[in-house]
Amino acid sequence: MGAVADCNLLSLLPSLLGHLWPPERVVAGLRVCKQLRRDLMVHCSSIVLVQKADTIPEESCVLEDFKRFPQHLVLMLSLKRSGRTTLLGTLGACKSLGRLDLCWNVIGAEGAGRLAGWLRNFKALAHLDLSQNEIGAEGAERLAGVLGECKALAHLNLSQNEIGAEGAGVLAEVLGDCKALAHLDLCWNGIGAQGAGMLAGALGECKALAHLDLSCNGIGAEGAGRLAGVLAECKALAHLDLCWNGIGAEGARRLAGVLGRCKALAHLDLSCNKFGAEGAGRLADVLGECKALAHVDVSKNEIGDVGAGKLAGALGECEALAHLDLSANKFGAEGAGRLAGVLGECKALAHLNVSWNKIGAEGAGRLAEVVMKGQCQLVCEGVRESTNVAG
Task: Give the 3-state DSSP-derived string for 235-269, with helices as H, strands as E and coil as C.
Answer: CCCCEEECCCCCCHHHHHHHHHHHHCCCCCCCEEE
Q: What is the mean pLDDT of residues 76-91?
A: 51
Give the pLDDT confidence score for residue 85 in this predicted structure: 55
Residue type, 207: K
Confidence of residue 93 (pLDDT cuts 50, 70, 90): low
CB 203 within 8 A of CB 176: no
214 compared with 115, residue with greater pLDDT? 214
DSSP state of 365: H
pLDDT tens digits, one per residue of 7-43: 444 444 444 444 444 333 444 444 444 444 444 344 3
Q: Is the dihedral of CA 193, 196, 201, 204 positive or negative?
A: negative
Give the pLDDT confidence score for residue 86 in this predicted structure: 55
CB 347 within 8 A of CB 375: no
Give the pLDDT confidence score for residue 95 in this predicted structure: 66
67 compared with 336, residue with greater pLDDT? 336
pLDDT tens digits, one per residue of 200-219: 999 999 999 999 999 999 99
Give the pLDDT confidence score for residue 14 in this predicted structure: 46
Backbone angles phi, psi at 273, to 5 degrees: -125, 0
Does the predicted TM-score (pTM) go above 0.75? yes
Give dist(CA 70, CA 204) in Å, integer: 34
pLDDT at residue 57 greater than cutoff 80: no
* Per-residue burial over 82-110, b = 16 or more CB atoms within 10 Å of its CB, e = otherwise: ebbbbbbebbeebeebbbbbbbbbebbbb
- % of the chain exceeding 70 in pLDDT: 74
Give the pLDDT confidence score for residue 92 in this predicted structure: 60
Q: What is the mean pLDDT of residues 82-105?
A: 66
Confidence of residue 353 (pLDDT cuts 50, 70, 90): very high
Give dist(CA 27, CA 49) in Å, integer: 6
Give dist(CA 105, CA 56) in Å, integer: 13
Give the pLDDT confidence score for residue 358 in this predicted structure: 94
Give the pLDDT confidence score for residue 89 in this predicted structure: 58
* Cβ-based neighbours of 215, under 8 Å, separated by 6 or more: 187, 188, 241, 242, 243, 244, 245, 269
Give dist(CA 149, CA 116) in Å, integer: 11
Q: In Å, what is the CA distance from 192 to each residue of 150, 167, 176, 196, 259? A: 27, 11, 21, 6, 21
pLDDT at residue 376 greater than cutoff 60: yes
pLDDT at residue 327 greater than cutoff 70: yes
pLDDT at residue 240 greater than cutoff 90: yes
Give the pLDDT confidence score for residue 124 in this predicted structure: 86
- State the number of CA atoms in the 13 A half-sphere of 15 facing the CB: 0
